[in-house]
Amino acid sequence: MFRNFKTVKRIVFGRGCFNQLDDILAAQRTAECPDMVFVVDDVFKKGKPLQERLPLHDEDLLLWVNVDDEPKTKYVDQLTAEVRKAMTERRRHLPAGVIGIGGGSTMDLAKAISLMLTNPGSSADYQGWDLIQVPAVYHAAVPTLSGTGAEVSRTTVLTGPEKKLGINSDHTVFDQMVLDPELIADAPREQRFYTGMDCYIHCVESLTGTYLNAFSQAYGEKSLALCQEVFLQADTPDSDDKLMMASYFGGMSIAYSQVGVAHAMSYGLAFVLGVHHGIGNSIVFDYLDEFYPQGVAEFRRMLERQGIDLPRGVTAASSDAQIDTMVNVALMLHPLWENALGKDWQQIMTREKLRDLYRRM
Ligand code: NAD
Ligand code: ZN
């Protein structure tokens, strides 16, 4: 069986295209459902020009979200309840749409809220594959950081009580993305690098994986080349445009293949120590010469060129039980291992080997 992919329906790209957001949303507002919910990273709250530019109407709801911790199911449930309450007070059923403005974490929160407004229970009930039954309300992505590919993917990655796992479904996919390279210009340098490395690692894991096919290769090779331009060559006026397209293509590449060892291990680090995705992938990747020799060598050149010092010793204070939990979380992700190491991956990546790798970080 081949996967019949749903993709983002509409894309607007270009410097300043954020100014068109109001017009784009106008088409979604109806007399019964006029209200839009803006889910915005609270980093833009104080004195940031973006705050002034939000095309808010009187009836709209503005939710400032905090992403110091990556999205948790509990937080999604709380935010969804807030929207529901506001809708009930207005005697309305649902909002016209949910707009996520921020990095991967904020886009994922927006996806999850749009799904949970129409599906009963807790978001933790839907962590897995194709468990969502009812279509979400209209949802749009406005990235302010590029690299995760969250703007194109069919998942929203959430940490629940038992696991870190996405809500993977066709309904998760955004209806619209607004790709304005000007919005990523002011991201902190290190954060830009780590989120960019998420994209670079998506490409390496996809292009060296056993699931590779011409579809994934086409997107992955272009994305990889763009990452090389952005992180190994001198900055140009359109570096942010390139990074934004690299993220999109990197996301498309893994859509039809899979990620690999760095992602599986990074999930373990995130679950136990709360290490964020981009930086976690980078920390792990530096120990994976054995699996990705070329990619790791090039990654180190990028680190050097960008003047980034990777954190070291992140697991030094971890107990044996914590390392065991990391191993369990990582090993749960069968498709990632199979993509990276083939059908016999369990013979290659034993618990002992994985424990040893974690201990070195
Ligand atoms: P992020 O959204 O977690 O943000 C990182 C930091 O950068 C935050 O402090 C945020 O406030 C800040 N920030 C964002 N944009 C900024 C800007 N323009 N200026 C200044 N500060 C800004 O970072 P990320 O790396 O984009 O996303 C990581 C998240 O994405 C993780 O939660 C991960 O699980 C998720 N993810 C999702 C997918 C998917 O397909 N859904 C794929 C990969 C990762
Ligand atoms: Zn990733």
Interface predicted TM-score (ipTM) of this complex, two decimals: 0.99
Question: 103 in ligand 1 pocket by Cβ < 6 Å?
Answer: yes
CA–centroid distance, residue 241 to ligand 1 (Å): 18
Amino acid at 53: R
Note whether 10-184 and 189-360 share their fold: no
Q: What percent of the chain has pLDDT over 90?
A: 96
Whose alpha carbon is nearest atom 27 of ligand 1?
A: 104
Q: Counting atoms of ligand 1 from 1, which one is nearest the CA of 276?
A: 31
Distance between first and last Cα of the chain = 39
Query: In this structure, what token pair is assigned to residue 145?
Result: 């950081």
Confidence of residue 2 (pLDDT cuts 50, 70, 90): confident
Question: Where are the chain's structural domains?
Answer: 10-184, 189-360
Band the pLDDT of 161: cuts 50, 70, 90. Answer: confident
Q: How many residues are recorded in the chain?
A: 361
Domain spanning 189-360, CATH class: mainly alpha
Per-residue burial over 134-160, b = 16 or more CB atoms within 10 Å of its CB, e = otherwise: eebbbbbbbbbbbbbbbbbbbbbbbbb
* CB atoms inside a 10 Å sphere around CB 130: 13
pLDDT of the residue at 342: 98
User: Domain 10-184 carries which CATH code?
Assistant: 3.40.50.1970
Closest to 274 (Cα-Cα) out of 72, 65, 50: 72
pLDDT at 262 over 90: yes
> In angstroms, rounded to a whole number, what is the distance separating the alpha carbons of residues 175 and 111?
10
Query: How many C-beta neighbours within 10 Å does residue 112 have?
Result: 30
Cβ count within 10 A of residue 313: 8
| Strand spans (E) along 251-325 | none
Sheet holding 139-143, edge to edge: 10-13, 176-179, 139-143, 97-102, 36-41, 61-65
Ligand 1 atom with the shortest distance to the CA of 154: 40
Once rounded to an integer, what is the mean pLDDT over residues 255-284?
A: 96
CA–CA gap between residue 163 and residue 261 (Å, rounded)? 18
Task: Tell which one of 5, 8, 18, 43 to mutate to probe ligand 1, the residue whose CB is within 8 A of the most ligand atoms.
Answer: 43
- Report whether residue 42 contacts ligand 1, using a CB cutoff of 6 Å: no
In the predicted structure, residue 285 carries a pLDDT above the cut 90:
yes
| In the block, residue with structure tokens 């969250």 | 150
Closest atom, ligand 1, to C-alpha of 164:
34
Which residue matches tokens 């792990």? 284
Residue with tokens 């109001």: 22
51 in contact with ligand 1, CB cutoff 6 A: no
Instruction: Give me the mean pLDDT over the 182-209 stretch.
Output: 98
The answer to whether 37 touches 87, Cβ cutoff 8 Å, is no
Take residue 162 and report the two structure tokens written for it. Answer: 């038992």
Report the share of the chain in percent with pLDDT over 70.
100
Predicted confidence (pLDDT) per residue in 60-98, tens digit:
999 999 999 999 999 999 999 999 999 999 999 999 999
Which of 140, 134, 126 has its CA nearest to residue 77? Answer: 126
222-228 long-range CB contacts below 8 Å, 24 or more apart?
222/249, 223/199, 223/247, 223/248, 223/249, 223/250, 223/252, 223/253, 224/200, 227/196, 227/199, 227/200, 227/203, 228/298
Cα–Cα distance measured from residue 354 to residue 29, given in angstroms and rounded to the nearest whole number: 51
- Residue 163 pLDDT more than 90? no
319-345, pLDDT tens digit by residue?
999 999 999 999 999 999 999 999 999
Over range 229-241, report the average pLDDT: 97
What is the Cα–Cα distance from 264 to 255, expressed in whole angstroms? Answer: 16
Amino acid at 341: L
Contact in structure between 95 and 37 (CB atoms under 8 Å): yes
> Distance (Å, rounded) from C-alpha 145 to C-alpha 184?
5
Mean pLDDT of the chain: 96
Q: Which of the ligands is closest to the CA of residue 200?
A: 2
Task: Say what the pLDDT of residue 48 is.
Answer: 82
Q: Are the CB atoms for 314 and 276 separated by under 8 Å?
A: no
Per-residue model confidence (pLDDT) at position 126:
97
What per-residue confidence (pLDDT) applies to 46?
80
**Rounded mean pLDDT, 251-264:** 96
Residues around ion ligand 2, judged by CB within 5 A, are 198
Q: Is the pLDDT of residue 164 over 90?
A: no
| Band (47; pLDDT cuts 50, 70, 90) | confident
